[in-house]
Amino acid sequence: MLYTSRPSDVTAPAAQPAAAPSAHERVYRALRTRIMHGEIGPGEALTLRGLGREFGVSMTPAREAVRRLAAEGALTLSPSGRVATPTLGADRLEELAAVRALLEPELAARAMPRAHPALIDRLRTINQSIAEAIARRDAPAYIRTNLEFHRTLYLRAQAPAMLALAETVWLQLGPTMRALYGRLGRTEAPRGHRLIIAGLEAGDEPSLKLAVRADVTQGLRLLAQ
């Protein structure tokens, strides 16, 4: 006679806790965020010893994180081993502005069919946070919330490869955006954000794309002059 197990006889495997990030992954993520949000200015030097001390790791994980960020264009490595955030010249700024002008209007257009009222309300809330960061003259908070505004919209595009490319450009621009913030002398949230929200509400794709293109390139082209 054959016996079959009843469901209650079978013990489900215990859920495994998520693995903690490796030491180099932890340094990489933290440093990547810091660079993208403009917490480190252009041309600032970093040391492996200093990173290791700050994050409580040996020099090997720090070196791996730095090499990974250098491959993404977020850091520069000199032949002598000096590590620094990049200082971007006019040609490089023009190139990155052109990449943003190509990628981000397309991401916004793809997001528009999924721009429900809750998303638009969320964008307005983020825009208020941007205004508060400007009032505090908090450059990293301004850059962080500005990128959050764009990322929140672009996630609705459901185009992860395009968004990943856009984020790589943001990463390369992070230190420069800090310098740009001081030069622009903003006193209120970017007008382009209001135009982006208006385009979404109206379902007007050409206006939306134009607003995004102007918003993401205007300041960078000012620096490139």
pTM: 0.85
Residue 30 has pLDDT above 60, yes or no: yes
At 23 the pLDDT is: 86
**1 — pLDDT class (breaks 50, 70, 90):** very low
At 2 the pLDDT is: 42
* CA-based torsion, 112, 190, 93, 167: positive or negative: negative
More confident residue, 15 or 123: 123
When mean pLDDT is compared across 7-11, 109-113, 194-198, the lowest value belongs to 7-11
**CA proximity to 63, closest of 92, 24, 98, 100:** 24
**CA proximity to 189, closest of 123, 122, 134:** 134
Distance CA 202, CA 109 (A): 13
Q: Measured between alpha carbons, how far is residue 197 from residues 114, 118, 149, 170, 217 in Å?
A: 13, 12, 11, 21, 18
Distance CA 151, CA 122 (A): 12
More confident residue, 95 or 218: 95
Q: What is the mean pLDDT of residues 7-17?
A: 48
* Secondary structure class of 84 (helix, strand, coil): strand
Residue 24 has pLDDT above 70, yes or no: yes
**4 — pLDDT class (breaks 50, 70, 90):** very low
